[in-house]
Structure 1
């Protein structure tokens, strides 16, 4: 799972923790929560969502304040790069269309799961007197994930690269984001690590719940506990998984919907 690998990578980059040790630790704390059922997942995610949002967004705002001199040029660069003749021309080439669709759809699903059909699984578990209100809460997930968190992350990366063009090479998204947060003296990498670890950990919990509901639908309630135990045996992160993306911020609506 990409999220499990992201936890291992960040822990190694920030604290020097071995990948295998992080994988074992992640498995244990995930098992403790998952084996407790949806109530346990709801309690943990309710605590993690505000924490991860505050840590990450405040960190991004601080960096954007530090990079204020290049913030406008960064916005201009993003706009120009999206609407250049080269970008438009590439879109009309057959292979480029396929690749653009493949990566565009993948990034969209990776960011907020829009149109994937997974978020309603959690929304259906919510206890609410007004289903319309619950639908509105779920609908905010895409806005917060993509418009706020992903946009801020993009601005942080582009503005930092423009300010220090020689410090970024062929590195993956997680390490690139860590280097950008290093602009905040002393606590920058820690802020990023805590924020992203809570992001990816809550995503692991959310997807575990998706799988549990699917298994229950297919095989009945007796299959729930074997699924929970079996899921933990294959979930730890490790070196065998590699990703070129920063960890997904996850779906805010998925966690805020869990109230059963």
Structure 2
């Protein structure tokens, strides 16, 4: 079982490494300055407040977009990602930020070393979320905050199914990209292969010892701002998905 998990993590790292060169070109990955950045800042301020020099760890930092956001809010940011090509782009974008290469499920960081941990679109890819949540709990200082921004990108309601059918009309199976095939293969083997629902993630966080766990689905302002970059079909699809932010605290005095 351990060998299988290790192999899957390697595949996940290699998949994102291969996408690094064009990652920021895809709407929804790079945070556009203006209304989209303002909407993201409002979400993070709602749950974290201003940075005020607090130490923040951006897990699965990718090309550094969330690190850039958190730096703007006044946090002292450390980014961590397992993909070296992603880190190369993040370092060129934010040379003053420390970026480390490590698996987000096994950070190798000291206990009680961070005031805040944030993730965007990481939890749905986790091989062993229970172990990851315990690891992050250890890295947080007492009174520290974890903010998870994620979604269920698997389960589809009737509207999403209809939009996807419209988008695929007339396309042959052979036109499906190799990247999409790899994505589907990886997704079938991660823990949340049936979709990372907010209530399931929150329950696991509580089991790991986090307190004050709250779910926030008020992401409409972000989706509206992103809509200008998407066509109407993708914009509607995004709004129909189960996306959320979860805030959780490590008990104790900060």
TM-score, scaled to structure 2? 0.25
Bigger relative contact order, structure 1 or 2, given CA contacts below 8 A and separation 6+? Answer: 1
Say which structure is richer in helix.
Answer: 1
Task: State which structure, 1 or 2, has the greater radius of gyration over its C-alpha atoms.
Answer: 1
TM-score, scaled to structure 1? 0.25
